């Protein structure tokens, strides 16, 4: 039987690559994003190439009611979800007190509230069935605080902590939760957030490579998947807890300062 994956933020970047990887393996899809045109093009592409079924939901998950609307629509369509992939999210560069709070509030709504809401809606179904996979796309940003991206880093810290905690709660149920923590990745994220003009985005990893590692980690039921980082960066992340926090904060800020 084909597994069906629900993927948010599926129109571009890591989400799009996750959809393609799942389709390549014969899986059906429910793809969710704001852009109807991009979703429909992806649907046509995947159905034609891989002979799978792709159901499109155009929805702005920033709106509080949207997660329940997605869940209800999928139920009404008679589609059973096997893999829930919470990928939708965005960031924003600048000092917290100088940014528009409405933008940060929207970020919290998408990065945290929508992710938690969809997870809360689907977990009872997964647990009752005794099977299911959840992949929550976090970031290596979750491993530290992020001056000039204070809210984004904090939202990703929530995603990783939340994912790890409920993974343990679900032990023995047949349901797993995986946190995907990529480094700087070649997607629209850098351009939209303004980070494409910072040293942090000097060396980008492919969205396909990140998606593949995350997908494989999800299937294996891994707790955390850190990918899209160099060997030196991996060493640095492991050293973070042992370095004075003030030094880590200063270095992180430098990486996110716009080049002159």
- Determine, yes or no, domain membership for 68: yes
- Determine, yes or no, domain membership for 106: yes
- Secondary structure element (H or E) that encloses residue 60, with its range: none
Q: Is 115 exposed, middle or buried (0-12, 13-18, 19+ CB in 10 A)?
A: buried
Overall number of domains in the chain: 1
What pTM did the predictor assign? 0.88
- Determine, yes or no, domain membership for 126: yes
Residue 104 near residue 96, CB atoms below 8 Å = yes
- Determine, yes or no, domain membership for 38: yes
Q: C-alpha distances in angstroms, 40 versus 43, 133, 163, 173, 179?
A: 5, 25, 30, 35, 28
Tokens 């960031």, residue?
91
- For the annotated catalytic residues, the residue numbers are 152
Q: C-alpha distances in angstroms, 76 versus 30, 33, 79?
A: 13, 19, 8
Q: Spell out the per-residue pLDDT of the chain, length 260, in tens.
A: 589 999 999 999 999 999 999 999 999 999 999 999 999 999 999 999 999 999 999 999 999 999 999 999 999 999 999 999 999 999 999 999 999 999 999 999 999 999 999 999 999 999 999 999 999 999 999 998 899 999 999 999 999 999 999 999 999 999 999 999 998 755 555 555 555 555 455 566 789 999 999 999 999 999 999 998 766 666 667 767 777 777 777 777 777 676 55
Residue 181 near residue 222, CB atoms below 8 Å = no
Domain that includes residue 197, residue range? 4-255
- Determine, yes or no, domain membership for 60: yes
Q: Is 150 exposed, middle or buried (0-12, 13-18, 19+ CB in 10 A)?
A: middle
Residue 183 near residue 140, CB atoms below 8 Å = yes
CATH of residue 143: 3.40.50.720
Reading the block at residue 55, the tokens are 């159901």
Torsion of the alpha carbons at 188, 206, 24 and 178, rounded to the nearest 10:
-90
- Determine, yes or no, domain membership for 48: yes
- Determine, yes or no, domain membership for 260: no
Q: Which residues contact 127 (CB under 8 A, 6 or more apart)?
A: 170, 173, 174, 175
Reading the block at residue 194, the tokens are 């303004």
- Determine, yes or no, domain membership for 67: yes
């Amino acid at each position: 039987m084909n597994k069906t994956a629900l993927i948010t933020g599926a129109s571009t970047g890591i989400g799009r690559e996750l959809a393609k990887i799942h389709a390549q393996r014969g899986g059906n899809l429910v793809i969710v994003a704001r852009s109807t045109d991009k979703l429909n093009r992806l649907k046509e592409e995947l159905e034609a190439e891989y002979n799978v079924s792709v159901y499109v939901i155009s929805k702005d998950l920033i709106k509080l009611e949207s997660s329940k609307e997605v869940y209800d629509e999928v139920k009404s369509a008679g589609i059973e979800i096997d893999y829930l992939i919470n990928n939708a999210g965005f960031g924003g560069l600048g000092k917290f007190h100088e940014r528009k709070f409405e933008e940060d509030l929207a970020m919290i709504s998408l990065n945290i509230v929508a992710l938690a809401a969809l997870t809360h809606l689907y977990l009872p179904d997964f647990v009752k069935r005794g099977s299911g996979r959840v992949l929550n796309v976090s970031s290596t940003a979750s491993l530290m605080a992020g001056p000039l991206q204070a809210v984004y880093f904090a939202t990703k810290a929530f995603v990783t902590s939340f994912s790890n905690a409920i993974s343990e709660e679900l032990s023995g149920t047949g349901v797993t939760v995986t946190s995907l923590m990529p480094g700087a990745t070649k997607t629209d994220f850098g351009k939209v957030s303004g980070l494409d003009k910072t040293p942090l985005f000097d060396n980008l990893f492919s969205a396909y490579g990140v998606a593949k590692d995350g997908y494989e980690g999800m299937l294996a039921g891994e707790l955390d998947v850190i990918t899209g980082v160099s060997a030196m960066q991996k060493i640095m992340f492991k050293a973070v807890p042992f370095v004075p926090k003030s030094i880590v904060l200063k270095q992180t800020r430098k990486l996110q300062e716009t080049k002159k």
